[in-house]
Structure 1
Amino acid sequence: MIEHINWYPGHMKKTREMIQANLKMVDLVIEVIDARIPISSRNPIINDLIGGKQRVIILNKVDLADSRENEGWTKVFKEEGHFVVPMNCMNGAGVPALLSLLSKYQEARNQELSRKRTLRMMIVGVPNVGKSSLINRLLGKKSAKTGDRPGVTRGKQWLTLSNGMQLLDTPGILWPKFEDPLVGLNLAFCGSIRDETMDLASLALELIGVLQKEYPEELMERYKLVELGEEPLETMEAIAAKRGFILSGKRTDYERTARAVLDEFRAGIIGRITLEHSEDA
């Protein structure tokens, strides 16, 4: 197993300080997480920073995740006392439900305060979970940079929605060290850690091992395999052979195979896959 995956550049330290400095100014925190890895994509530092502040959890990328697990995780987070909105930020599914929730929350808060006040929110999450895509959907225009690579958003941005609500965007924040190596792997599988910092062949081999155990039928169907190898390496080599990823001397092109498997997993092409199960929460 790949161990000691660490990713904590300087701008993430600044993000932590930004959250601390601005938390008192907001009424609500919107936390965006990846539905495929609902635990690994929740930064424990954010929990410490936010404390008891009311939170809306956006279970994003539900279109890429196992539908049964989406339902299970929605239930888990609601039982924790959070608002939960399953969403696909790329096509906007779930955005109307979020706006309705925010309007009701603002109305209830104004009644509690006995005065009208614009709702102010902060959006947080690890890199590449879809924060910028969500912001663009809420604004109805492209004002936040988006990309499928972590680290696109930098700096502090206050944004005003069409309904007058204000939103503070923050860059994605990871934490200094992953105590559980599986957390680092899950984040790397889903693209929340820069590929440039990883050995992609080893990473893809780890992913194949997980899929071989958890979603064998999807893996076999996608790569037209009659059977899976006894070890993940055998399966990886079988995938390479099916795709024609062979170098001179009949050597397996592990790098090309790794890129194909990782890209197709991240795009949902292998299937709707959730790597963390709600029953284990």
Structure 2
Amino acid sequence: MAIQWYPGHMTSARKKAAETMALTDIVIEVLDARLPEASSNPMIEELRTFRQRPCLKILNKADLADPAVTKAWLAYYNSQKGVKAVALSCKKPSDVARIPAMCLKLAPHRGTTLKPLRMMIMGIPNVGKSTLMNALLKRRVAAVGDEPAVTKSQQKLDLNDHMTLVDTPGMMWPRIAHPSDGLMLAASHAIGRNAVIDEEVATFLAENLLANYPQLLVQRYGFPVENKDAVAVIEAIALRRGFRIKGGEADFEKAGLTLLQDYRSGALGRISLETPDSRQAMLAAGVDVATTLGTSDGGIDHLDQSPT
């Protein structure tokens, strides 16, 4: 299933973002630490490189991601020109408090009362932009919700007398080129449910977990996963939790939603759906990442990775 989701307001949001970029000193791009590249909108990269703006990439929800994989992603991004990457949780005030100083280092020519540092927060829906905005300003100024695309218009606010912030709506791009990206985004709740079939997304997630985190499935649901495929895993969750439909058959839909929610909330454990190496392998071979993340023993290799 090729997932595509591009609500109408995002076209106008892109045009407005392009205009605002001309008056911006630094882009703060919020990514999902569990799928940094899949959650990176290529249009944001195009806009900022056209204007030659530096970028602070925030790998948000780092407390939900595999720390070894996150370390590899930080090395990958920090090797790029004009980019600084940091992994944190936008829900933690102590993490967010570090961000203004990092931004000043990327644009040292700004940050005075005469020349305030102008920062623009960007990212796809539901990665935590509004949570970040509220945490930076220490008050609720942006709507936060569980469904993607809550924010639909820009707003500009002063952080202090020498720094300003622009919060932008979550922007998707018109066509998701790689099917696995759409599935990772859907699994992580960055795409509206009207654009996906939950059972198919849950099956994709189960395949990924079997390949890379089988022990977390065992720990969470209490059944062995040897010789099980993704469908069998979801069926086993249904039977284990007593999810049945009329006639006594397993309620596949409810079990699939349970798996998705357990992943999204972190109840399953700290999970990353892609690594720098798996991303490069996917792009080179044109295959999905679900079966390319693992090592010979069926789990993600937690050795330090050096992306090419």
TM-score, normalized by the shorter chain, greater than 0.5: yes
Q: Which residue of 2 aligns with 1:69?
A: 69
Taking structure 2 as the reference length, what is the TM-score of the superposition? 0.85
Cα RMSD (Å): 1.7
Aligned counterpart for 1:26 among listed residues 24, 27, 49:
24
Alignment coverage as a number of residue pairs: 276
The 5 A counterparts of 1:182-261 are 182-261=180-259
Task: Say whether the 8 Å CA contact 1:87–1:93 is kept in structure 2.
Answer: no
User: Within 1, Cα distance between the matches of 2:237 and 2:47?
Assistant: 44
Q: Does 1:78 align with 2:78?
A: yes
Tell me, in whole angstroms, the C-alpha distance in 2 between the residues paired with 1:59 and 1:275: 14
CA distance in structure 2 between the partners assigned to 1:191 and 1:246 by the alignment:
25
Alignment of 1:53-202 (within 5 A): 53-81=53-81, 82-105=83-106, 108-110=108-110, 116-162=114-160, 164-202=162-200
Corresponding position of 1:4: 2
Counterpart CA distance in 2 for 1:236 and 1:229 is: 14
Pairwise CA distance, 1:103: 3.9
Using the size of structure 1 for normalisation, the TM-score is: 0.93
Moved more, 265-274 or 196-205: 196-205
Q: Distance in 1 between matches of 2:228 and 2:106?
A: 53
Given that 2:116 and 2:161 are in contact with CA atoms closer than 8 Å, whether structure 1 keeps it comes out as no
Q: Distance in 2 between matches of 1:278 and 1:92?
A: 28
Once residues 233 and 110 of structure 2 are traced to their aligned partners in structure 1, the CA distance between those partners, rounded to angstroms, is 58
Q: What's the offset of the Cα at 1:102?
A: 2.7
Matched residue SS, 1:239: helix
Q: Report the secondary structure of 1:176's partner residue.
A: coil
In the aligned structure 1, how far is the partner of 2:10 from the partner of 2:113?
A: 37
Picking from 46, 55, 66, the partner of 1:48 is 46
Q: Judge conservation of contact 1:27–1:121 (CA < 8 Å) in 2.
A: yes
Separation in structure 2 between the aligned mates of residue 174 and residue 272 of structure 1, nearest angstrom: 25
- Equivalent position of 1:14 in the other structure: 12
Unaligned runs of 5+ in 1: none
Displacement of 1:115 in angstroms is 8.8
Distance 2:8 2:196 in 1: 19
Letter in 2 for 1:279: D
Counterpart CA distance in 1 for 2:156 and 2:274 is 33
Residues 29 and 221 of structure 1: CA distance in aligned 2, closer, same or farther (over 3 Å): same
Query: Does the C-alpha gap of structure 1 residues 121 and 138 become closer, same or farther in structure 2, counting only changes over 3 Å?
Result: same
Deviation track 1:21-58 (CA, whole Å, cap 9, x = no partner) reads 11111111110000000110011111111112111101
Contact 1:92 1:137 in 2 (8 A): yes
- Indicate conservation of the 8 Å contact 1:212/1:228, yes or no: no
Q: Please give the per-residue CA displacement for 1:102-154, whole angstroms capped at 9, x wherever unaligned.
A: 34445x2149xx99411111111000000000001100011111112101101
| 1:73-115 deviation line (CA, Å, top 9, x unaligned) | 1111010121112110122342122122234445x2149xx99
Give the stretch that moved more between structures: 250-259 or 89-98.
Answer: 89-98
Q: Return the letter of the residue paired with 2:146.
A: D
User: Is the CA contact (8 Å cut-off) linking 2:4 and 2:175 kept in structure 1?
Assistant: yes
The separation in 2 between residues aligned to 1:87 and 1:171, in whole angstroms, is: 21
Q: Which blocks of at least 5 consecutive residues in structure 2 are unaligned?
A: 281-308
**Shift of the alpha carbon at 1:278?**
2.5
1:223-278 per-residue CA deviation (whole Å, 9 max, x = no partner) reads 11123443211111111111111123221111111111111100111110001113
User: Which amino acid is 2:23 matched to?
Assistant: M
Distance 1:115 1:238, change over 3 A: closer
Percent identical among aligned pairs is: 36
Q: Provide the rounded CA distance (Å) in 1 between the counterparts of 2:221 and 2:10.
A: 38
